[in-house]
Every structure is written in C-alpha cells, then in structure tokens.
Amino acid sequence: MAIHSSTRTDVNRSAILARLGAGGPASRADLARALTLSPALITQLVKDLITDGLVVELDQAPSNGGRPARMLGLAASAGRAVGVKVVADHVAFVEVGIDGQVVRSASTPFDATSSTFVSELVERIREFIGSGSDVNLLGLGVGVPGSVDSPGNGVVESAQLGWNGVELGDALRRAIGLPVIVENNVNALAVAERLFGLGRSHDDFLVVTIGTGIGAGIVVDGSVLRSASGGAGEIGHIPVADDGPRCTCGNDGCLESLISEAALVAQARSAGAIEPAAGIDALLAAADGGDEGALGIFREAGRLLGRTLAGIVHTIDPALVVVLGEGTSAWRHWSPGFEPAFRSHLLRHRRSIPVEVETWQDQSWAQGAAALVLATPFDAAGAGDQGRLIRARLAGQVATP
Amino acid sequence: MAIHSSTRTDVNRSAILARLGAGGPASRADLARALTLSPALITQLVKDLITDGLVVELDQAPSNGGRPARMLGLAASAGRAVGVKVVADHVAFVEVGIDGQVVRSASTPFDATSSTFVSELVERIREFIGSGSDVNLLGLGVGVPGSVDSPGNGVVESAQLGWNGVELGDALRRAIGLPVIVENNVNALAVAERLFGLGRSHDDFLVVTIGTGIGAGIVVDGSVLRSASGGAGEIGHIPVADDGPRCTCGNDGCLESLISEAALVAQARSAGAIEPAAGIDALLAAADGGDEGALGIFREAGRLLGRTLAGIVHTIDPALVVVLGEGTSAWRHWSPGFEPAFRSHLLRHRRSIPVEVETWQDQSWAQGAAALVLATPFDAAGAGDQGRLIRARLAGQVATP
DNA sequence: CGCTCTTAATTTAGGACTAAAGAAAGTTCA
DNA sequence: TGAACTTTCTTTAGTCCTAAATTAAGAGCG
C-alpha cells in the first residue's frame, strides 16, 4: 500500500523520465496511460520537468480525431548509467543514456581470484568513470556470475569467481560514491530485455543463456524472478542424466555438465572431432565444415537444452523464450537438435511458443548491468535505498546552462 | 501507482478485516505494521469499523514496555465464503469464515461430461448456499483441474473434465448473483497455504500435489505465479524419460505418465504386485505389508519426483516445499526414493530446504477454492471486477441487530 | 512514590493525487 | 462554413493519506 522508498514526487518524476528514455517521445496523455496516473498529475509533473530543463516539448503529433497531442522528449543532459560485467579474467564497461544507447565502452584484464580483487575493481571502475564526460551519472550496475542476496545490498556468492559472501555492493558504494545495484548477470540481461528488447511487449518471458555457463532470467508479471534467496534461474544445475558427468558444482548429470562450452569442447576432444588443444572456435569451424562428429555434439546439446526448456515452459508458462550468450554464434548447429526436442515435449497449445535468438556482443553483458540502474524508476519500491537514491538523482536534476 | 479496482477505503477496510481473520486478533499498531499503513489511518478506519459493528475491541495486551495495546477482533457476523471443487464425477463444497475455519461442508455426485453440466453445477451450488444460514456471503471460489484464463474472468480449459473454453465464471455469476473467482485447483491450494498454512511465513514456496494428477502451485513474492496464460505449475508434463509411456496429454515420457495414481496402478498390475482389478488402496496395502514389488514402485515414483523437484528448486528457488494431495497417504513409501534423489541433485546450499507433507482431506480442495475469495482483500488490484466486488462486500457491511 | 522511558493511540496540518468540469484544437459531415 | 464530435490538456474541488506532534498508559528504577 504505502510507498516508503522514495518521495512520491521522485517516483513519478523519475518514472516519466525513464519512460521517455525507454519508450521514446510520448504525449502527456500517453504518459498518463502508460504510468496509470491521472492526466492532471502528469500535467503538473511535466510542467515542472520542463521548467527544470529535463524534458522538452517536441512537434505536435497528427490528430487522432481530437486535439492533436504535443509530444515530449528528453533533454540531452538527462542522466546516464554505467554497467560493469565481471568475469574471472576481465571486466567490461559501458556507459549508456537513459534510452539504453551505448555512449562508450571499454574492457580491461582483471583477476577475480587475486587477494586484492576489490581494490583492483574499484581502480578499474574509477578509471572508466574518470575518462567520461561530466554528465550526471545515476548509478552503477554490476553483473556477476553467481547469486546475489538482493540487488540493493549486493553480497555475492560465485563459484566461477571464487567469491563467497563478498560484500561487493558496500565496497563499491564506499569507494565510488554512487548508488550501486549488483545482480546476477543473466537476471541483468532479462532486465535489459524487458526494458529495451523483445520483452518490451511481454510481461512473462524467459531469457536463457548458453556459452560458458547455462542460465536463465525469468520475467514474471513484468519483474525478474529472484525468489527466496536470489537464486532463481540456475537452470544449469537441473539434473538431466542419472549418471552423467561430474559438474563444477560437485553433483552429477547437471545440464551444464553436458552442454556448457567446456563440456562440448571436452566431448569433441574425446571424440577426436577437434585437436586435443583446440577449443570451441575449432569445434564450430568443424561443424560448419560438415564434420559429423562436431554436428552430432551440437545436435545432442540442442536436444538436451530443448527437452529441459520444455519442462521449464510447463513450470512457469512464459509467452516467449529469448536465447542469448556467447553460444548463440553456434545456434544454427544447436537448432536441429533443439527444435524437435523442445516442441515435441510441449503440450499441444504451447508448441508454437516463439523462441528468439538475438544478436550477441560481449558488451551485451555490461549493457544488462547498466539496465539495472535504468529499470529502478519503474519499480517504486525496488532496490531499497539504492533505488531511492537513483530515483532521487534522476528526478532531482536541474539542468545547468 | 494508482489503484483502479476499488475505492481505497474499500481496499483498506477489507484488508483490516481479512488480516484479523487470517492472522487473529491484533492491535492498531500491529495492523499498521502488517498492512504498511500509517497509525493515523488505521485509527480512523478502525473507528468506523467498530461503529459499523464489524470489529470489536478485546482485552488489552500486556505492555511491551510502553502503552499496552488494545487488541481488536472480528465481530461474529463478518462475512463468509463458499468454496467449490469440481472433479469429473463429484463436487465438494465448504463454507468458511474469514478466518478460514470450516463452518459446514458437503459433497454431491456430478457428471462433468454431461451436456447440461453448467446448469447441474448451478443447481448444486444453489442447494448448498440455500441450506446455509443468512450470513453475508462475500463470494464463491471455484477450483478446477486445468487452466483458467484469469481468476476474475474464469474461462476454463480442462482435459480432465473435457471442457474447452467453458465460460464458467460468467455462467455462475449470472446464475448465482455472487462474485465468482475461478482458478486451477492446485493454485487455489497454494493460496490457502499462503493465507492459513505453512506458507504464512514465506513469500516464496512451492506446493506440489501427488495423486490423481501431479501439479504445482508456485508462490513468488507472496503471490501465486500464473504467468502468460494462467498455465504455470503444470509440472506433471515435464518430460523425464525419452521413450517413456504415453501421457494423457498425448506426449511421451511426462512425469505424470510415470507417477500419477493411474500410472502406479498400471505398473503394479503389470508387475503382478496387485490383482488386475485392484487399485491404489491395494497397492498401498501391499507396500504396507512389505511386498517388494509394491515398495519398488513407490520408491521409483519418489525417485522421479525427487529428481524433477530438484530441477524446479534450481529454477524458481523456493524457501519451502509443501506436498499435498491424495497421494500423501502413501508418502512413507515415496520418501525413501524421494529424499536421496531430491537432495543429491540439489546444489550444496539448498540441500536442507524443508519439505513438509501436510495432513490431507478431500475437503482441502474446496477449502483452497474458498481461500480464493478470502485472499482478494490482500491484493488491491487482484481479480479485477470480482475482486472489487468482494472487497466492497467485505468493507461495505454494516452489521444488523 | 515520582520521574524517566517506551510503546500505543490520537490529532493536526499539509502533501499528493484523482474525478469531474472546462478549455483547446483538431476532424467530420451536412 | 459552422456545428457536432473527439481527443488532449488544464483547472478546480475534494478525498485520501502521511509525518509530526501530542496525549495516554504502562514498566522500571532510584
């Protein structure tokens, strides 16, 4: 019932700005409908935002049969976000506008297992922020492989990084002086899909990543599912074989132990489909060249993924599946195994569910992280104190000449 | 942001009443905390509810070190709900108070495949309601096996009942003249668990039913997951065997095709563990008598259920699993297969997740249905127009002498 | 026994928001 | 070409709710 986390005015002002960013120019009537606020309130809020130099009136739209609408757009200075993606051996950065457009990006080496990894990360982040222009930064979004207690707090458990109870959020807040949102990197991708991608027109969809790891971001009723301890979406550890290979998690027969990039490479090496020192690029090249062993490895991976995703579709009933991650570069070889396995295990009325594979770039992970900041204006109570600070920074701006 | 479905006063009054029903007596300060409303507003609303005869002041609680609280309780006349559970061959009814306590119940034969099933159902419901006392009925909750487009609308797809696009909600509203909420019966059980059961202290948990069918109700952030078309939780159709038996849905190797009651009976007959005309009761008796074939069938069912639920726990990350349904009477035989399979396929930090098996009665399904009505005061926008009507009926009562 | 502290409940002033009415600016049609 | 209608935007009056201040009623302690 009550909104505690921000003043209501901050919530509304930041929602208007974020909506103009994510959705493009809109009229007052559009904003009232989209944000379910009365036209009277929108008029008041927009008047103040225009006075504060954050919103500008654009051309009039053609009439819809009545008074023509006056379109509104964002002023150029309306704030930016930085996204950081952390993996074991490097860190990627992007700086984006409120519309999600990438202004600049960078990537630097990094050792997540070093005993001074936090201060090294802080240094890298300071360098990236310091080399940007003097535009208002709303906050920092950080995506990590692993689970996070809550995005507004940011305590990380990550086997891949070797981190156990690392208070990353607090450390970065203290060192950088910006609001910081920390989230699992696949969940961050799902947030980005919801805001800027194919998920914009769906309240319920599934993001699946293939590549180094196998993971899922589950969007339900417009929000990413985190559940009890922030660990929803760990589909890589769904058991799919009773006596399958040993997984990095210690169990046997997890999906990931069979279809992660490392697993495919290991199978290919064992089968002689590639040289013992070759990697995934060689496997893809072999499959492209028609090698039956390589094709079979990808087909079987697709089959296992398809069957497993069919079960997930029955469990959570999404309207769309989006496939992302480094592994998508090989999707043409996964698909022959994936499609029949997936659709034949779906109930009849679900067999036409769309599965979309999007164009992947390494900076996509960092864009996902940045989206964590950009999404907070849409959730009045979301991300606790950090969310409130971000909304205040977005809503409280006054443009300087 | 804006609440459209009820006047705010109705939302708040009905929330206070429902909270006193579900949670028992509480002070004004307790209500303010539980409902996240200001103490000032609670004082105003409670004053009116006392004047209207719906709430009574009880004894003072012992002091917590400050001013002793004045406890509040429900007046006896504060409204009831009727729950109806429909299966292929009978209908079960309960009438419950706002606290969920069963006031009376009934069960009658019914033919879901009859061409006049709607009017037969209407007749049964009228008989049950007509034989009750003259207390204010807030609404009718109906649980069905199958999927429902939305609880406030109530269009049913059910293979088990042979219903396809049946506009049950509209038909019942027209004929009975009460607000009607229709939902999948396992989802209804999850609502009841959230309100009155083990789920009261959890925002994220999983309800699993074993018996005639295998289903799940998934509670996330305090609400039951429905997703895109209301079909979340159909875990019975998760594929668990590549070339398993043919399922009633037409696919092969679904979980349900291996561990539903009918599947267990078929396996037992094939194995000679029971007579060809015997049923589940004979299988349970044989297992209780130490028959190895019978024990093996239950153990294998438990193993498959355990492995599948481990996958679901990784996908949605619940804090608790509650097992319900007719099949729980045999849980002692499922458990030896279930427990090792379940826990060995969980990530290390999840291995201690509690799995609770609750006492089951056939009227539990109908209690779940009644809970659909009782839950609506807690969701300001929930169940559309039906929710608004229920809240208005609860909030708008004035007790007559 | 009286003072201080804590917690509960109430009152007050003011902010936030909406429903409804009205004004503005088009399109359509006779 | 002017009236009627539609859609957008603005203004007004009132409702709903909270933060803060105040009052009430206990426990604890010297």
Q: What is the pLDDT of residues B96-121, one digit of tens each?
A: 998 899 999 999 999 998 999 999 99
* Claim to verify: residue B218 and residue B112 sit in the same structural domain: no
* Claim to verify: residue B109 and residue B177 sit in the same structural domain: yes
Residue A101 covered by a domain: yes
Asked which of A9-23, A194-208, B347-361 is least confident by mean pLDDT, the reply is: A9-23
The nearest alpha carbon in chain B to A235 belongs to B315
How many angstroms separate the CA of residue A278 from the nearest CA in chain B?
31
Give the separation between CA B18 and CA B372, rounded to whole angstroms: 12
* Claim to verify: residue B204 and residue B315 sit in the same structural domain: yes
Residue A244 φ/ψ, nearest 5 degrees: -85, -175
SS3 A147: strand
- Please, are residues B135 and B109 in contact by the beta-carbon 8 Å criterion? no
* Claim to verify: residue B342 and residue B207 sit in the same structural domain: yes
Q: CB distance B317–A234 less than 8 Å? A: yes
Å from the A39 CA to the D1 C1' = 33
Residue A3 covered by a domain: no
Residue B1 covered by a domain: no
Residue B48 covered by a domain: yes
Residue A51 has pLDDT above 80, yes or no: yes
Summarised one tens digit per residue, pLDDT across range B327-343 is 999 999 999 999 999 99
Q: CB distance A228–B310 less than 8 Å? A: no
**Which of A21, A43, A74 is where one domain is finished?**
A74
* Claim to verify: residue B236 and residue B266 sit in the same structural domain: yes
Q: Give the nearest partner residue to B227 out of A250, A318, A348, using CB atoms.
A: A318
* Claim to verify: residue B213 and residue B183 sit in the same structural domain: no
CATH number, domain with residue A298 = 3.30.420.40
Asked which of A207-216, A311-320, B357-366 is least confident by mean pLDDT, the reply is: B357-366
Residue A290 has pLDDT above 80, yes or no: yes
Chain A and chain B share a number of CB contacts under 8 A equal to 149
* Claim to verify: residue A113 and residue A68 sit in the same structural domain: no
* Claim to verify: residue B39 and residue B128 sit in the same structural domain: no
Residue B216 covered by a domain: yes
Q: CB distance B317–A226 less than 8 Å? A: yes
Q: Which two tokens stand for residue B77?
A: 């006349």
Residue A83 has pLDDT above 90, yes or no: yes
How many angstroms separate the CA of residue A134 from the nearest CA in chain B?
33
Q: CB distance B315–A317 less than 8 Å? A: no
State how beta strands B55-60 and B70-74 pair: antiparallel
Q: How many domains does chain B have?
A: 3
Residue B401 covered by a domain: no
What ipTM was estimated for this complex? 0.90
Burial class (CB in 10 A: 0-12, 13-18, 19+), B123: middle
Give the closest nucleotide to A4 (alpha carbon vs C1').
D18
- Please, are residues A79 and A98 in contact by the beta-carbon 8 Å criterion? yes
Q: Give the nearest partner residue to B316 out of A225, A311, A317, using CB atoms.
A: A225
* Claim to verify: residue B353 and residue B205 sit in the same structural domain: yes
Residue B298 has pLDDT above 70, yes or no: yes
* Claim to verify: residue B54 and residue B131 sit in the same structural domain: no
Q: Cα–Cα–Cα angle for A173, A216, A288, nearest 5°?
A: 115
Q: Which two tokens stand for residue A295?
A: 């094709």
What is the rounded radius of gyration, in angstroms, for the C-alpha atoms of chain A?
A: 23
**Which of A74, A103, A118 is where one domain is finished?**
A74
- Domain enclosing residue B34, as ranges: 8-74
Q: For residue A347, list chain B residues with Cβ-Cβ distance below 8 A.
A: 234, 237, 249, 251
The nearest alpha carbon in chain A to B164 belongs to A349
Q: How do the residues of chain B divide into helix, strand and coil, expressed in percent and rounded to 5?
A: 45, 20, 35
Give the separation between CA B176 and CA A190, rounded to whole angstroms: 44
- Please, are residues A168 and A140 in contact by the beta-carbon 8 Å criterion? no
How many angstroms separate the CA of residue B227 from the nearest CA in chain A?
6
Query: With bands split at pLDDT 50, 70 and 90, how would you rate the model's confidence at B400?
Result: very low
Q: For residue A382, list chain B residues with Cβ-Cβ distance below 8 A.
A: none
Q: CB distance A228–B202 less than 8 Å? A: yes
In sequence order, which residues have a C-beta less than 8 Å from that of residue A134 and are 6 or more positions away?
A: none
* Claim to verify: residue A125 and residue A214 sit in the same structural domain: no
Summarised one tens digit per residue, pLDDT across range B259-273 is 999 999 999 999 988
Give pLDDT, residue A384.
80
Residue A2 covered by a domain: no
The nearest alpha carbon in chain B to A342 belongs to B239
* Claim to verify: residue B185 and residue B312 sit in the same structural domain: no
**Which of B45, B74, B103 is where one domain is finished?**
B74
CATH number, domain with residue B45 = 1.10.10.10
The nearest alpha carbon in chain A to B237 belongs to A314
Among the residues of A65-130, which ranges form H helices? 117-130
Give the separation between CA B170 and CA A52, rounded to whole angstroms: 51
Residue B2 covered by a domain: no
Q: CB distance A314–B235 less than 8 Å? A: yes
Residue nearest to nucleotide C24 (CA to C1'): A67
Give pLDDT, residue A2.
35
Residue whose C-alpha is closest to residue A312's, from B395, B139, B218: B218
- Chain D: nucleotides under 7 Å from a protein CB? 5-13, 15-21, 24-28
Burial class (CB in 10 A: 0-12, 13-18, 19+), A174: exposed
Asked which of A374-383, B3-12, B70-79 is least confident by mean pLDDT, the reply is: B3-12
